[in-house]
Amino acid sequence: DGGITQSPKYLFRKEGQNVTLSCEQNLNHDAMYWYRQDPGQGLRLIYYSQIVNDFQKGDIAEGYSVSREKKESFPLTVTSAQKNPTAFYLCASSTLTGARTGELFFGEGSRLTVL
Amino acid sequence: AQSVSQHNHHVILSEAASLELGCNYSYGGTVNLFWYVQYPGQHLQLLLKYFSGDPLVKGIKGFEAEFIKSKFSFNLRKPSVQWSDTAEYFCAVIARWLDNAGNMLTFGGGTRLMVKP
């Protein structure tokens, strides 16, 4: 089945540690996104990429880093510089047309808790 | 920059009650509008969308939404809710420019709906 796979589903981290969240898609989509979901704040865009080896900052990129070495993969690293990393992280993808029209497909999310 | 407001953060209804969730956006130009739903333990999925044409759009599971351009609103409705509608609902907007490069989908804060059996 085509879709977006995020792993791990749940992750615990000690303060001061970096952690990497995986996102893989087999939809052959060009564009991929990372959103952060906090209660009452909806989804906020962290980073997005529309082509391999290129990515752009979203609204809340500070303390995060990404790479896009392959079309199907867009891992997110939450660094120790992120002041409030405990959140639910959602990966999404779209065609380039979908990027313009707003039609995104989402993974099931990764919940990160910093102890 | 565009913004999206969802007025109700939490809604509790009994089964068979009618539902209306408010969504307002701030952008004076042409927009595409969406409602996404996140059922407990599941991924975010598209409920319905409006690009153009009839401002009353119908989505899955009996949901509908009405785009009122003069009010910058895109409220979600369902005449009779079921327990299985318990979920979090997100309104989202993207501005339609001639060149959409760099323009992103903006989400509202979400509304948690609980339907009591």
- By the CB < 8 Å criterion, does A71 face chain B? no
Reduce the DSSP state of residue B62 to 3 states and report it. helix
Reduce the DSSP state of residue B88 to 3 states and report it. strand
Please give the pLDDT value at position A96. 85
pLDDT digits (tens, 9 = 90+) for A6-25: 999 999 999 889 999 999 99
Which residues 81-110 of chain B have a CB within 8 Å of chain A?
90, 92-94, 96, 100, 102-105, 107-110
> What are the tokens at B29?
């130009």
Asked whether the beta carbons of residue B107 and residue A44 sit closer than 8 angstroms, the reply is yes
pLDDT digits (tens, 9 = 90+) for B92-105: 999 876 555 556 88
Q: Which of B44, B2, B43 is nearest to B23 (CA)?
A: B2
Helices (H), chain A: 96-101
Average pLDDT for chain B:
91
Q: Which of B84, B87, B83 is nearest to B35 (CA)?
A: B87
pLDDT at residue B28 greater than cutoff 80? no
Report which of residues B100 and B87 the model is more confident about: B87
